[in-house]
Amino acid sequence: MANLNVLFATLSVATLLGFASTKAEAGPYGDDLAKCLVNSTTSTDKRALVKWMFATAAQHPDVKPIAAVSTQQYDAFNKAISTLFDRLLTKTCRQQAQQAVKFEGESIIESSFQILGQAAAREVFAYPSVAAGMADMTKHADSRKGIPVLGNTAAGSQVVAAPLDPKKVTP
Domain boundary among 90, 109, 125: 125
Q: Which amino acid is at 63?
A: V
- Span between the terminal Cα atoms of the chain, in Å: 42
**50 and 113 belong to one structural domain:** yes
Confidence band of 2 (pLDDT split at 50, 70, 90): very low
Q: Are residues 90 and 151 in the same domain?
A: no
Structural domain count, the chain: 2
Q: Report d(CA 169, CA 69) in Å as an integer.
A: 29
Numbers of helices and strands, H then E, in the chain: 7, 2
Q: What is the pLDDT of residues 14-69, one digit of tens each?
A: 555 454 444 446 799 999 999 999 999 999 999 999 999 999 999 999 999 999 99
Host domain of residue 148: 132-168
